[in-house]
Amino acid sequence: MLQSLGKQDAPMDAYRQLFDGILSQRLSPGTKLNEVELAELFNVSRTLIRQALQRLQLEQVVEIHKNRGAYVASPTPDLAEQILLARNIIELAVVKLACKHCTQADALYLQQMINLEQSAIDQGDMATALRRSGEFHLQLAIVAGNQPFIHALRGLISQTSLIITMYNHGGGNACARDEHSHLLEAVKCGDESKAQELMAHHLGHIKQGCDFTQSPQVAGLQVAFAHLNAS
Amino acid sequence: MLQSLGKQDAPMDAYRQLFDGILSQRLSPGTKLNEVELAELFNVSRTLIRQALQRLQLEQVVEIHKNRGAYVASPTPDLAEQILLARNIIELAVVKLACKHCTQADALYLQQMINLEQSAIDQGDMATALRRSGEFHLQLAIVAGNQPFIHALRGLISQTSLIITMYNHGGGNACARDEHSHLLEAVKCGDESKAQELMAHHLGHIKQGCDFTQSPQVAGLQVAFAHLNAS
DNA sequence: GTATATTATATTGTATACAATATAATTGAA
DNA sequence: TTCAATTATATTGTATACAATATAATATAC
C-alpha cells in the first residue's frame, strides 16, 4: 500500500522478499541463505538471487563470505553500538532538516505511518510494527530531502532491526508510538532543538532496551518463507 | 602500496579498475559504460562487469537505468550540495572520534598519506592527488573506528571527486596539504573542537572552489583505459 | 525533404552450463 | 574408537547462450 509498483520487477521482487523476510524477523541473524534454495522458492534463476544478495550485502544486512555463501548479518554488540551512534548523528541532522522542509502533506503522511505502526502493535504483530517503525524513520529522511542521509539510513535502519531482533528480547519498543507522535509534533512546529532532543531520547531508548549478553536462535529458509510453498 | 592484495580477485579487480578510472578522472561524469566493451577491456565476462557496475551503483558512483545501461554518475548542483552537507555532518563526528582513538601509529600512517598526496601535487598529477586526498579522509574514518561512517564516506568521497571533476575547473584544491596537515595536528593533540573547526573549513573550501554553472565534457572508454590496450 | 513506420542491429536482462572451491562422507590406519 | 586421508557431494564462482528491450537504419508515405 505504501509502495505499490505497477509492473513486476523480478530483481527487485527477489530483493524485497529477502529484505522483508529479514526485517520481519522471519529470517534470523546468522541464517545461511542458500542460493539454489532461494531460487526455487522465488521461481527465478540464481542470477537474480545473487544480485539481491549482493545488494543486501552492500546494505550490510547480509554477509557474503567468498566461496562460502551468504548469511543474514548478525551485528556484534560493538558494531551495534557503532550503528546506533551513527544513527544518532545522522538522524539528529535529519530531524533538523525535516523541521525546515516538512510540508503539511508530509506531516499527514508521517501521521498515517504512525497509525499503521500503532495498528500493528494493537494486533500484537510486533514484527510488522518494527518494520513500520523503520519506515517512519526513513520517511523522515525523505522529508528532510538529503539523498546521502536517506541512502545511509536505509542500511542503518535495517541493521537496527537486526540488532533489536538479536538483543531486544524484552520488546520494550512498544513505547515507540508516543515517541514518534511527539517527534512529529515537534517537526510540524519546526521546533528544531525539541525535535533533536526527542530523537536523541528515542534512539537512546532503543539502546537501553537491548541486552547485549545473549544471542538468538537461527531458523531455516523453509520456515521463513512458508507462505510461498503453496505447491 | 597502500593496499596490496596477494591473490588476485577478479570481481574486485574489475570493480577497482572502474572505480580508479572514475576517481582518477579518466572516466568523466556521464560516460556510458558499455558492458561488452568493458568485458573485453578487462578480459572477463559480462557477469563480473555487471557485478562491478551494480556495486558502483550502490556506492552512487554509477547510475544504472533499466534496459538502457550504466553511466558514470553526474551529480546535479543540488545533489552536490546535499553530499557536501552530509559529509560535513558525518566528518565532524568522525574527527571527534578520531581525536579519541588516534594512536601514534595511526598518526604516522595519516602523515604518510599526506606526504603521498603532496608528492602527487608536486608532480602536477592532480588526479592522483585528488584520489589520495579522498583516501586520507577515508583513513580518518577508519581511525575513528565507526563502521557505518566508513561505509557512508566511501561513497560520499567518491561522489565528491565527481563533483570536483565536474565543477571545480579552477583547481583550487591545492591548499589541501596545509589543511590536512593542520587537521592531523589537531587530531594528534586530541583537540576536538579545533579539529572539527578545521574540518568544517576544509569542506567549506571544497564547496567554495566549485562553480556550479558549467558542465564537463565526456570522454570514451578506450581513452580512459588506453593503458590496458597493449594488444 | 520531412516524418512516420518498419526492419535491422546493438545492448541489456535472465537463465543455464560448466569450473572451482568448500563441505560432507567414507575409507583406512593407528 | 579416533584421527587422517581420500573420495564424493554440494555450493558457490564464472562464462556463455538465449530472450527481451532499446537504439539505429532503412524504407515508405505524404
Choice among A49-53, A219-223, B119-123 with the minimum mean pLDDT: A219-223
Query: Is the CB of A14 within 7 Å of strand C?
Result: no
Q: Return the pLDDT at B231.
A: 40
pLDDT in tens, A74-87: 999 999 999 999 99
Chain D bases having any atom below 7 Å from a protein CB: 11-17, 21-23
Query: Quick one: three-class SS letters along A156-197?
Result: HHHHHHHHHHHHCCCCHHHHHHHHHHHHHHHHHHCCHHHHHH
Within an 8 Å CB–CB cutoff, is residue B58 touching chain A? yes
Q: What is the mean pLDDT of chain B?
A: 88
Select from 2.40.30.10, 3.20.20.70, 3.30.420.40, 1.20.120.530 the CATH code of A77-208: 1.20.120.530
All CATH 1.10.10.10 domain ranges in chain B, comma separated: 10-74+216-228
Is A218's pLDDT higher than 70?
Answer: no
For residue B51, give the nearest of A54, A79, A148 by CB distance: A54
User: Is the CB atom of residue A35 positioned under 7 angstroms from any atom of strand C?
Assistant: no
At B141, the pLDDT band (50, 70, 90 cuts) reads: very high
Place of cell 599526506: B114
Cα A192–chain centre separation: 25
How confident is residue B171, by pLDDT bands cut at 50, 70 and 90? Answer: low
Q: Which H or E element spans position A72?
A: strand A69-72
Q: Give percent above pLDDT 70 in chain A.
A: 86
| B5 CA → D12 C1’, Å | 22
CATH number of B10-74+216-228: 1.10.10.10
Q: Is the CB of A214 within 7 Å of strand C?
A: no
How many Å lie between the alpha carbon of A96 and the closest alpha carbon of chain B?
A: 12
Contact A152 B89 (CB under 8 A): no
For the stretch A154-179, pLDDT in tens is 999 999 999 998 888 765 555 566 89
Pairwise CA distance, residues B216 & B30, whole Å: 9
Q: Does B6 touch chain A (CB under 8 A)?
A: no
- A62 to A54, B11, B121, B160: CA distances (angstroms): 8, 18, 40, 27
pLDDT in the model for residue A53: 98
As a whole number of angstroms, the distance between CA A124 and CA A122 comes to 5
CB atoms B85 and A60 under 8 Å: no
Locate B227 and state its grid cell. 593503458
Beta carbons of A195 and A96 less than 8 angstroms apart: yes
Q: pLDDT per residue over B72-110, tens digit each?
A: 999 999 999 999 999 999 999 999 999 999 999 999 999
pLDDT of residue B3: 38
Determine the residue of chain B that is closest to A57 in CA distance.
B55
- Enumerate the CATH 1.20.120.530 domain ranges in chain A, comma separated: 77-208
The whole-number Å distance from A66's CA to C22's C1' is 10
Measured CA to CA in angstroms, residue A19 lies from A9, A13, A120, A134, B82 at distances of: 15, 10, 19, 13, 27
